[in-house]
Structure 1
Amino acid sequence: MISLSLPSPAPPSFKPPNPNPKPHKPKTLKPSSSNPLHNRPIHHLDQAQLNKAISTLDLMSHHNSAADLLTYSLLLKSCIRFRNFELGKLLHKKLTNSGLELDSVLLNSLITLYSKSGDPVTASLVFEEMGERKRDLVSWSSLISCYANNDMEFEAIVKFIDMIELGFCPNEYSFCAVIKACSVKENVWIGKIILGFVIKSGFFDTDVCVGCALIDMFVNGGCDLESAKKVFDKMPERNAVTWTLMITRYMQMGQASDALELFLDMVVGGNAPDQFTFSGVISACAKLGMLSLGKQLHSQVIRLGLVSDVCVGCSLIDMYAKCMVDGTMVDSRRVFDGMSEHNVMSWTAIITGYVGTGGCDKEAIELFSEMICGQTIPNHFTFSAVLKACTNLSDLCLGEQVYTHAVKLGLASVNCVGNSLVSMYARCGWMENARKAFDILFEKNLVSYNAIVDGYAKNLDSDEAFKLYGQIEDTGFEVDIFTFASLLSGAASIGAIGVGTSKQLFKCLMK
């Protein structure tokens, strides 16, 4: 039996790191002018009133008292920090009409604004309009990061090469951005070349963020845990973030045992886990069915005051649901009811737990109803779980109502929702509707094909099931044991296990 003794994190302190015994006034933003109107936007920012701060610009303009670049810069950075992108775009328009010549700091902030708002086209336009004179390393890094974060990996890599050719030396931010662009399967080979550049530049041995980016690249792009672990082992500094990242990546690759082993190494080394670490490790316990260790972790979470964290709570709900001893959801429900607040994650976790338990589908539907009444908006995972509950209850009417709700929220085209709808119709014998739901799926995966193949098999149409199996082969998906089980049961149910069918199945299995 594994026993844990975890180091406690330092108790929270409300004192500054170097307390000054002399009383002092709170630090405020420095006004840009002695003119009272000039001070108003800064005053509103101090009061966290971003809307008022920006609306003051119109008042200043009306009194022929224009804001300066510093004021605009502070306002723009606040828009980015609070993720109020619409106000940021409005500020950009005011800035354009102000007649001021924008400096590199402001232009770089604009690139960041449009990057974070998911508008790489406008970010690129701002970058191009800067001209070579105003572009600095921050400008290049911001645009590369913009492309990498908005699914424009090729453009990010091209810009990185352009930057090098113009004589700029990459810093840690440039490297992190371009490594992220290499975190897709087809670009990992470029990432390995950049790794050599990183080592030569001295960032591999000195910068934790670059190391984390490399770990993500090897796992997300190449499913190469061995290389990721080598990067982790050579990192100059390991903190809760780096340990948690590696533990999470082990879980992502389905290696829960290795994740737990790494967690124990972390604890033995005197590193204090945080809420994200606990969430990942509790999930590993759920996957491995290690209820005893999971309970120890639950006790540690309570002792460290992390039990109110939503991620930790969701992991505990999932663990107790998957490791039930008495066949009830009592422990999961106790965790859920003890949470200080519920969001879509916690509601989905408890609903999914009830559905997965078997025989508790009515309770799942009741919880979904409570969730809706409490004004919490479901996500695609919630709808997928509730549709499964409707399937288990053979309640087509309720299932269609739930699906209509998903349509209204724009979630009907999400893969897991569509797959659950296909399964519901198929399990209830409505193969015509199941096929329609399957055909309109925006992006089909193996789960989609397995659902429809299983439906045809269970509804005694093995010919159509085998035809769809042929489609699976054409799409390039690797069939799994569920596909073969459906084909076999379909053929057996109609007594079709003759020589021809046997040869078909044997041919499938041999592939």
Structure 2
Amino acid sequence: MDSSCLAPLSSPLCSQDSSLSLPNSNIAFSSPSHLQQLHSLLIKSGAPISSLSFPQIASVCALSSPSAFSYARHLFHRSADSPEIFLWNSHLNTLSSSSPSDALLLFNRLLSSNLLPNTFSCSFALKACTQLSHCLLTGKTIHALILKLGFDPDVFLHNTLVHMYSSFGAMADARLMFEKMPKRDAVSYNIMIARLTKDGEMELAREMFDDMPERSVRSWTSLIAGYVQWKNPREAVRLFVEMEEVGVRPNEVTVVAVLAACADLGALDLGKRVHQHGNRFGFLKNVRVCNTLIDMYIKCGCVRIARKVFDEMAERTVVSWSAMIHGYAIHGQGDDALELFEEMRKAGIRPNPVTFVGLLHACSHMGLLEQGRKFFQSMICDYNIVPEIEHYGCMVDLLSRAGLLDEALEFIRKMQIKPNGVVWGALLGGARVYKRVDMGEEAIRQLTDLDPSNDGYYVVLSNIYADAGRFDDAAKVRRLMRNKGVKKTPGWSTIAVDGVIHEFVAGESDHAHILEIYRKWDDLLVELRVRGYVPDTSVVLLDMEESEKESVLYRHSEKLAVVFGLMSTPPGKVIRIMKNLRVCNDCHAALKLISEIAKREIIVRDRNRFHCFKDGFCSCRDYW
């Protein structure tokens, strides 16, 4: 429709048919033709065009035919009080989030119509570019247009440009834009820090954080989350404590990041304090916060508290259920895991692949062979879940634990994906328990190709040979390790006391109380020997005298951490230990006896699972 269709407001038609009802600014129209009919009605009734919603006119006509676009522009020229570009910008802003491709089409149409954009138009177009993976060149073109039009970009537009470049990973361009900015605000720094942390450039991110004249909660949260993502939870916790000291209140995203750090470190005291903070400020209504809280308590060995959080959740997702099922499994509470799955099924929650990893893990540690087989088949047949390497690993572990090593080997050979070190490692573990030298050798042949630097596999094979009385072969394994340059990974253990994390390294330690710890261990060793403790020196793969091997065993990190816990905490308090490696046979036997002697519950989280030592027994049932 051209401009001749726009009758003047003083037309005689205005006085005709006064019975027609007048539209109001809330009336909806869904097409240009509908708009034209309403416009005619306005003219007939004598109502002003401003009765229509101008943003709605822009929305309806923006991407319609060129004639409709032109018609909308004529309406704006006749009636709009503000510059026309503001009206188009309103719709451009909406599209930049909801439909970025259409936003760029509209921006192009505005340029083709000789409608001069302003800085807001350009910023909305740049925002649309950031949401489309192929639009870096388009973003650069818009940047060039900004320069060509001679705009004097403000901080907002500069930030948009920095964000656009950083979103595409063009960090050289982003850094150049950032450095050329005449003025920066917290948003400018936050954009750069967020991208640097995403890329793992934590030193650069920290430098930029330290240079900030003023930090927002987002600044602190980005850096804390970056440390967690790149496996530096200690620094994340230190930064969070500093954040609290300067009086910045964490938000829900901060809480999620810090709880994840607490989970990695086993920092239960801080985790509980963050839990209280989240409860105080209403963050526990957030499902993600609650899911992370469940994970934190599980990884700190507090399954009962994790279940309490789970039960109090107003809304639960499949992640909530799966986390709790997996938590029960790694704590050796398989019955609870299976019972919870039944509740989940009755609640109508569809399980995901993680759910079945937890179920299969639970079956493995309870020896529920047939139940485990059923879950594996149900996962495929009932839920159309394609098994992943974790599911295959659980099945091999289940079969190996049950002593069905030949079936486990056949299962591996029929796998639909290539087995990895975890799968063959499960077979190797079963070979150790059932003293199957042939299976151990088959597994190690595969593992030396898949994971040649993992010292743990060589240790297990050496133990298999030693149990079979083949000491020459055990010595060959040690020589093989030396020839391949495989060094035993130093074992370390941590324990948190009064909010401070203490670390112990196997063999030597610079801990302030190490001499007291050694004396306490010597006293405890007397009682251990009375109870029947005999050092298992087979786990020491070093050429030395038996007495020297015993000394090495006595300096294992988890023993030192437990002794320090006995010295530093009140009687009856649970001792919680984190260890980077698998607990060795000797430490496992010693900690069972210590739990009985000291009348303490000792919870050790090793590389694979939790061991809850109490009254001389372990929750793993002596197979881990």
Name the structure with the higher helix share: 1
Give the alignment partner of residue 267 of structure 2, picking from 283, 287, 290.
290
d(CA) in 1 for partners of 2:417, 2:338 = 26
Give the length in aligned residue pairs.
411
Give the alignment partner of residue 398 of structure 1, picking from 362, 365, 371.
371
Q: Where does 1:445-456 land on structure 2 (aligned, <5 Å)?
A: 448-455=420-427
Give the alignment partner of residue 269 of structure 1, picking from 246, 261, 271.
246
Q: Where does 1:310-329 land on structure 2 (aligned, <5 Å)?
A: 310-324=287-301, 329=303
Structure 1, unpaired ranges of 5+: 1-33, 42-55, 77-91, 116-121, 183-189
Query: Could you say which residue in structure 1 is the equivalent of 2:191?
Result: 213
Give the alignment partner of residue 375 of structure 1, picking from 329, 348, 352.
348
d(CA) in 1 for partners of 2:458, 2:168 = 38
Does structure 1 retain, via aligned residues, the 8 Å contact 2:234–2:265? yes
Give the alignment partner of residue 229 of structure 1, picking from 193, 199, 206.
206
Structure 2, unpaired ranges of 5+: 1-20, 40-51, 71-87, 148-152, 432-437, 488-624
Q: Where does 1:128-207 land on structure 2 (aligned, <5 Å)?
A: 133=112, 137-138=122-123, 140-147=125-132, 152=133, 155-166=134-145, 168=147, 171-182=158-169, 190-202=170-182, 205-207=184-186
Q: Where does 1:43-442 land on structure 2 (aligned, <5 Å)?
A: 57=30, 70-71=55-56, 100-101=68-69, 112-114=97-99, 126=105, 133=112, 137-138=122-123, 140-147=125-132, 152=133, 155-166=134-145, 168=147, 171-182=158-169, 190-202=170-182, 205-208=184-187, 210-221=188-199, 223-324=200-301, 329-358=303-332, 360-404=333-377, 406-407=379-380, 409=383, 411-412=385-386, 416-417=390-391, 419-421=393-395, 423-424=397-398, 427=401, 429=405, 430-437=408-415, 439-440=416-417
Query: Could you say which residue in structure 2 is the equivalent of 1:26?
Result: none
Does structure 2 retain, via aligned residues, the 8 Å contact 1:454–1:483? no
Does structure 2 retain, via aligned residues, the 8 Å contact 1:124–1:143? yes
Deviation of the 1:472 alpha carbon: 3.0
What letter matches 1:361 in structure 2? G
Do the aligned partners of residues 158 and 387 (structure 1) sit closer, same or farther apart at CA in structure 2, a change above 3 Å counting?
farther
What letter matches 1:264 in structure 2? V
What is the percentage of aligned positions where both structures have the same residue?
A: 23
TM-score by length of 2: 0.55
Does structure 1 retain, via aligned residues, the 8 Å contact 2:424–2:447? no
Name the structure with the higher strand share: 2
What letter matches 2:159 in structure 1? E
d(CA) in 2 for partners of 1:487, 1:125 = 63
Deviations 1:230-288, CA, capped at 9 Å, x for gaps:
12222344232222222222222222222221111111111112233233323333333
What letter matches 2:271 in structure 1? G
Deviation of the 1:353 alpha carbon: 1.9
Query: Could you say which residue in structure 2 is the equivalent of 1:497?
Result: 473
| Structure label with greater radius of gyration | 2
Query: Could you say which residue in structure 2 is the equivalent of 1:50?
Result: none
d(CA) in 1 for partners of 2:396, 2:357 = 11
Deviation of the 1:200 alpha carbon: 0.6
What letter matches 2:317 in structure 1? N
Deviates more, 1:490-499 or 1:305-314: 490-499
d(CA) in 2 for partners of 1:507, 1:411 = 43
Deviates more, 1:263-272 or 1:135-144: 135-144
d(CA) in 2 for partners of 1:468, 1:322 = 31
Do the aligned partners of residues 491 and 454 (structure 1) sit closer, same or farther apart at CA in structure 2, a change above 3 Å counting?
farther
Deviation of the 1:63 alpha carbon: 11
TM-score by length of 1: 0.65
